[in-house]
Amino acid sequence: MASQLTATKSIDELHAQEASGNELRRALTATQLTLLGIGGVIGTGIFVLTGVAAAQNAGPALALSFIFAGIGCTLAGLCYAEFAAMIPVSGSAYSYSYATLGEGIAWFIGWNLILEYLFAVATVSVGWSGYAVSLLDQLHIHIPAALSHAPFDQDKVTEHMVRTGAIINVPAMLIVAAIATICYIGIKQSATFNSWIVAIKVTVIILFILFGVSFINTANWHPFIPPNTGRFGEFGPSGVLAAAGVIFFAYIGFDAISTAAQEAKNPQRDMPIGILASLVICTVLYVVVATVLTGMVSYKELNVAAPVALALDKYPALHWLGIFIKLGAVAGMTSVMLVMTIAQARIFFAMARDGLLPKFFGRVHPKFRTPSTGTVITGASAAIIGGLFPVGVLGHLVSIGTLAAFVTVCIGVLVLRRTRPDLPRPFRTPLPWFTCLAGAAVCGLMMISLGAATWWRLVIWTVLGIAVYAFYGYKHSHLHRGS
């Protein structure tokens, strides 16, 4: 078993699998890949988590947290870009790990990518529900709290799950079902829908920046880094780091581009463009929004579900913009769910293709050429999870699973530089010994900042994954069966 855990799959084998007859449709350009990245990144992070991170961790220094998290993502993004151009196959970090670090690590990464994408869809659906219910309420359409909130929440002191009295979050479940239907129909239709949504939410964000900058009170920026309260992560330098770990969720999405490599028209050129361009654009928008937001409102007041809307509500002259912000938030989170659903279905597809999951996970629709069964399973699972659990618990799980994948990709680039220096690399990570090690270190620091409860949940998820691999994946792996 040990030899199988460390056995790798050659680059040639990965390419051969892509041309085995179970192909997806190549329809995505560099622009569409960039828009997919922006669609996956700008959503819950900018419309929901900014307020929580400012009020509980970083204060006005939230902009520094975004920069720190952005640096970590950019370093990891450079590593992703090299892999995506060199190994333009579906499966993202899972496939890259299979080619460099062996089946055991590949399974661990694939299992964590399920934690990232599947739970991200559920997490964002909860945030979407909050904004949608608020928007409908403004239009005099009222949804009962019992049908728009999760029945479980986490006690802030004990960190145990408690009942809330609600029944289930119906809007969260309905939006996931709608998104899964769009993804089932086709990648080109999904990309077109995403492009329109991205245009709407970026326009709304720019409007907030342009009109909000006139209402900045510089007194709200002092002290820029509030003194630490005596607990790690509550303001001070450790608070900036902790906030980076929390808002790291905001950046999740750029790596989803790499899961669509088999559907890119020219993956060697377009994948690096899509990954890096989307990261740069989103980082700039995040830093500017954080600066304007904490200038308009004291960070102490931002611990709310809709911090951007709160900032506008404080100024009567900006009330007209409130409804557009809510529409932009709803649109933004819709595109995030779309990108994450696309990504998760393709992770299922890649793992099933290798025999590590049952074959039906990799079934491709004969007409739409999408991983149909994987899309249905993603939609159904995310709808149930989003209907039952709150955004906080789910968000931390998504972040730690993603960071684990990022660390592995950074290390994988160095491993492959040593073991296969002969491979053609259309894009090369600059200064690899610095970029890869620094990327792994920054992402590792953000993992540490997420707290003991999140680590315990990761341990439980990992143990469950080991059991699935031991009882199914190992026996059915194509490497094990020699095929």
Give domain 2-481's CATH architecture: Up-down Bundle (1.20)
- Alpha-carbon span 396 to 57, nearest angstrom: 15
Packed helices 391-419 and 236-247: angle between N→C axes, nearest 10 degrees: 90
pLDDT for res 187: 62
| Lowest mean pLDDT segment, chosen from 84-93, 329-338, 344-353 | 84-93
- What span, in angstroms and rounded, lies between the C-alpha atoms of 68 and 240? 9
Beta-carbon contacts of 240 under 8 Å, excluding residues fewer than 6 positions away, are 57, 58, 61, 64, 65, 68, 225
Model confidence at 448: pLDDT above 60: yes
What's 48's DSSP letter? I
Sequence-distant (≥ 6) Cβ neighbours of residue 196 within 8 angstroms: none
Q: How far apart are CA 310 and CA 314, in angstroms?
A: 6
What's the helix, strand, coil split of the chain in %, to 5? Answer: 75, 0, 25
Which comes out higher in pLDDT, residue 450 or 27?
450
Distance CA 473, CA 480 (A): 9
Q: Where are the domains of the chain?
A: 2-481
Locate all alpha helices (DSSP H) within 224-302, ordered by sequence: 236-247, 267-296
* Residue 434 pLDDT exceeds 90: yes
pTM of the model: 0.77
Which helix (H) or strand (E) is 415 found in, with range? helix 391-419
SS3 154: strand
Q: Of 36-45, 178-187, 224-233, 291-300, where does mean pLDDT reach its minimum? A: 36-45
pLDDT, tens only, 343-371: 888 888 888 888 889 888 878 877 777 78
Q: What is the share, in percent, of the chain residues with pLDDT greater than 90?
A: 12
The whole-angstrom separation of Cα 239 and Cα 229 is: 10
